[in-house]
Amino acid sequence: MSQWRQQNLMESPIRVGLVYGSTRPGRFCDTVARWASGQIVAREGFAVEIIDPAAVETVSTVSLNGRVAACDAFIVVTPEYNHGYPAPLKALIDSFGPEWHAKPVAFVSYGGISGGLRAVEQLRLVFAELHAVTIRDSVSFAGAWEQFDANGALRNPERAERSMDAMLRRLHWWAVSLAHARDIWPYAKTV
């Protein structure tokens, strides 16, 4: 790999696909995803690409395929419904294959007492099957509806912001490292 290419990987913004996990009318996912998006764009080194299963019907499959493929990393914002993640999220994930390969995936979850962690654990299994690398660090909002005010701001943001900072630092490292690895040895040739 050339010195220029390696330097470019370190300095170029990491294109993060922010995947919405819910399509329910009046979904709380919009609030949590707006917060996550704000946290991502407030840091240098990241650009956000919104991937919303509720908008899939208005976007061509070819267009969405290209957008997912162009991402260097993903953050899935998911609720927990009945101890699992929503079916539209599974349908979106299953619509792609190689687009997920050898890319990092992180999670921001929300829900009741578990904060969506059971949904995240199930998603880790799904993404492992898709040859994606899940990040251990995550952000979780237990009792999420009580944590955000009417304007979508966190009432006590310190803990969530610290968790998001740690997750983004590790996501950046994995995104750069895996992009470098894919550049010198394309993943498709190894499977």
- pLDDT by residue (tens digit) across 18-46? 999 999 999 999 999 999 999 999 999 99
> Would you state the pLDDT for residue 6?
54
Q: Where are the chain's structural domains?
A: 3-189
> Would you state the pLDDT for residue 11?
73
> Would you state the pLDDT for residue 12?
83
Q: Which fold has domain 3-189?
A: Rossmann fold (3.40.50)
Half-sphere exposure of 104 (CA within 13 A, CB side): 25
pTM confidence score = 0.91
Report residues of the chain scoring pLDDT below 70.
1-10, 57-62, 189-191
Neighbouring residues of 39: CB distance < 8 A, sequence distance ≥ 6: 161, 164, 168
**Residue 189: Cβ-neighbour burial (10 angstroms; 0-12, 13-18, 19+):** exposed
> Would you state the pLDDT for residue 65?
87
DSSP annotation string for 118-146: HHHHHHHHHHHHTT-EEEEEEEEEETHHH
Distance (Å, rounded) from C-alpha 94 to C-alpha 88?
10
> Would you state the pLDDT for residue 4?
46
> Would you state the pLDDT for residue 59?
60
> Would you state the pLDDT for residue 63?
81
Distance (Å, rounded) from C-alpha 171 to C-alpha 75?
9
Closest listed residue to residue 18, CA positions, set 87, 105, 138: 105
Q: What is the pairing mode between strands 104-111 and 73-79?
A: parallel
Place of tokens 């899935």: 76
